[in-house]
Structure 1
Amino acid sequence: MAARTHPRTQTPPRARRGEDGRLLSSAGRGIAVAVLALAAGALLTAPGMHKSAFNQQPGLRRDVALAITGPLARVSHALLLDRPRQLVRDAIGRGDGDRIDTEIALPPAAPATSGPAPAPPALPVFTPKRKLRLWVAGDSLVITPGYSLVRAAGASPVIRSLGVDGRVGTGLERPDVFNWFTEIRAQVKRLRADVVVLGFGGNDDHGYMTGLPDGVSVDGFGTPSWRREYARRVGGLFDTIARAGAVAVWIGLPITRSRKQTQRFDVINSVVAREARKRRGRAIYVDTYAMFAGADGGYAEYLQGANGTSIKVRAGDGVHLDSAGGDMVAREVLKRLNETFDLTSWRRKR
């Protein structure tokens, strides 16, 4: 008996078009939902993206990023879509995380005085019961000598270390990246420091500054306008520290393997040294250039020790210091502190 066959059901063309249309419609809705989700996510996180763009190095990439994230951040704020993110950040104690802080809080410059300089005051006295409180702050170049100072303080009966705050990639040109002006003013008061050891400039040779006063513009690195503004910032830090009752010690930038970078560091060192000279007794500049120059006056990774042995004093990058180099700087800082303060008379009174 022949098998019965069932005729194939044919879908009418109109029905097929309807199914295809529904598929296309579903796909379109999916794409639309995805686009809306991406847009909502971008608006919710726009403040953070805008700050990340702002913190990039100057150039086309930064310009494009700011052009995109700036309008997003403004729309996000207008629609209050930045509020959930802000509430979360407030709850975890990071409420200011998205704020681009470029305010440079510096005291007004002291008026120039004429006439003979006043007699130097008696050296402040520190003892094991009244220890000198020392804090170290700056960019990555201050970290190694900073910890050398911490070790030296541990061996001294009259110096108390308050720690080392060294932050990679920071400086005085870009308070939007990290605002050292606000940080130092707050920490010197909180810590009640007697001495603040500073080390800046390793990231300040780019010629791009944020936080400029209204009506002030800065040309390229090392120009007169750049020197004036950098001097204002350095001098302002010195004055901030002095008004808190502390003495500032600035560790100068060392010679580097790159001749071009060394020349740029020389510009920064000259500005800082001049500001320190204006504030004798309140600011000390420690010159490290000659300290780390080789026998020929150029860069040297190794220096000859007192016993004639070769000592590695520089890190492999040709910029930073090795631990032995940090110890050399620490010894010079301690020498200058002994010239500025009375750290030994307590021994004679025992």
Structure 2
Amino acid sequence: MRHALSAAGLCLGLTFAAPALAYDGPLLDSAGCPQDDVSIVVLGDSLADGLWGSFFRAFARCGTVEVHRGTTVSDGLTRTAPEEWVGRIAGPAEGADLIVVQMGANDIQNIREGTTRAVFGSPEWDAAYAARAESLGAALAATGADVVWLGLPIVGEARFEDSYRAITALQAAAAEKAGILFVDTHEPTTFGLGGFVMSAEVGGTLRQVRVTDQVHFTEIGYDVVAGLLSREVERIFLSAGREAAIDGLALQ
């Protein structure tokens, strides 16, 4: 089953209510439950693992939604080839409706390919990383599922920030080349402030959205990031419901 995604529904819906930063956009559970079976795969590193948790919590009540965990903590594209990443979800990716990808938090390191080494930050590294990202994007697109690749969020560690932005730019270019949707998470995770924040008002309550390492999120923080995809997930669910209704029509 394949459903078209668009960028139109990716607005966070950020508002301000001084003095607290506020988020009043949708979370994943606003999509409800589909009538027909829907399969979702989450692929990537520890950031993606947090997103998997958000998807799992949001749809645990839905007997028609299966959320597959294709995450590996402390891994990425510099350490692991794209073919291996795809191999990890070979089963779940067959017939998947949506594949969500986020990785790169561990990719500030050199790339070794055989006897050669590309040093992080060099033109050779950029070329090698771009090739890996393009290979992963193309392989995921070939599964027939809708694919959404999320970029890296803003982080509180200044020594990571510029590198994460560079990695995200390479991923965005690779996603565009593969014809899959890329979603920026850097600006949305500033909550409209333009910089890093530890807490924000979510659902009318001030909540801590980042953990002490200033890279990862709390549960509610991950829920907010996953909420970037709520409109798209809802479209997939509605499409699944229409297909179920058509399949249920009795032929005359």
Q: TM-score, normalised by structure 1?
A: 0.55
* Equivalent position amino acid for 2:43 in 1: A
* Equivalent position amino acid for 1:170 in 2: D
Q: Structure 2: how far apart are the matches of 1:347 and 1:189?
A: 24
The answer for the alignment partner of 2:86 in structure 1 is: 184
Which residue, 157, 171, 174 being the options, matches 2:76? 171
The answer for the alignment partner of 1:134 in structure 2 is: 40
Give 1:313 deviation, angstroms: 0.8
Call closer, same or farther: CA 1:262–1:137 in 2, change over 3 Å.
same
Are residues 1:331 and 2:233 paired? no
Greater share of helix: 1
- Percent identity (aligned): 25
Count of residue pairs the alignment pairs up = 217
The answer for the alignment partner of 2:194 in structure 1 is: 297
* Equivalent position amino acid for 2:39 in 1: R
Q: Structure 2: how far apart are the matches of 1:123 and 1:285?
A: 14
Q: Answer whether contact 1:136 1:146 (CA < 8 A) is retained.
A: yes
Q: Answer whether contact 1:230 1:271 (CA < 8 A) is retained.
A: yes
Q: Map 1:190-269 to 2 at 5 A.
A: 191-192=93-94, 193-206=96-109, 208-211=110-113, 218=118, 220-269=119-168
Q: Structure 1: how far apart are the matches of 2:41 and 2:150?
A: 13
Give 1:190 deviation, angstroms: 5.3
Q: Does the residue aligned with 1:278 lie in a helix, a strand or coil?
A: helix
Give 1:339 deviation, angstroms: 5.2
Q: Answer whether contact 1:231 1:275 (CA < 8 A) is retained.
A: yes
1:138-184: CA deviations, max 9, x gaps? 1111111111011223345653212x233222111012xxx552242
Unaligned runs of 5+ in 1: 1-120
Are residues 1:159 and 2:159 paired? no
Q: Structure 2: how far apart are the matches of 1:320 and 1:295?
A: 19
Call closer, same or farther: CA 1:181–1:153 in 2, change over 3 Å.
farther
Q: Is the radius of gyration larger for structure 1 or structure 2?
A: 1
CA RMSD of aligned residues (A): 3.0
Q: Answer whether contact 2:43 2:70 (CA < 8 A) is retained.
A: yes
Q: Map 1:59-98 to 2 at 5 A.
A: none
Q: Structure 1: how far apart are the matches of 2:194 and 2:39?
A: 36
Give 1:238 deviation, angstroms: 1.3
Q: Answer whether contact 1:146 1:326 (CA < 8 A) is retained.
A: no
Give 1:133 deviation, angstroms: 1.1
Q: Answer whether contact 1:128 1:157 (CA < 8 A) is retained.
A: no
Give 1:189 deviation, angstroms: 4.0
Q: Does the residue aligned with 1:234 lie in a helix, a strand or coil?
A: helix
Call closer, same or farther: CA 1:159–1:286 in 2, change over 3 Å.
farther
Q: Does the residue aligned with 1:222 lie in a helix, a strand or coil?
A: coil
* Equivalent position amino acid for 1:334 in 2: S
Unaligned runs of 5+ in 2: 6-32
Q: Structure 1: how far apart are the matches of 2:173 and 2:233?
A: 20
* Equivalent position amino acid for 1:331 in 2: G
Q: Structure 1: how far apart are the matches of 2:49 and 2:221?
A: 12
Q: Does the residue aligned with 2:231 lie in a helix, a strand or coil?
A: helix
Q: Structure 2: how far apart are the matches of 1:306 and 1:337?
A: 20
Call closer, same or farther: CA 1:294–1:243 in 2, change over 3 Å.
closer
Are residues 1:272 and 2:177 paired? no
The answer for the alignment partner of 1:26 in structure 2 is: none
Give 1:303 deviation, angstroms: 1.2
Q: TM-score, normalised by structure 2?
A: 0.74
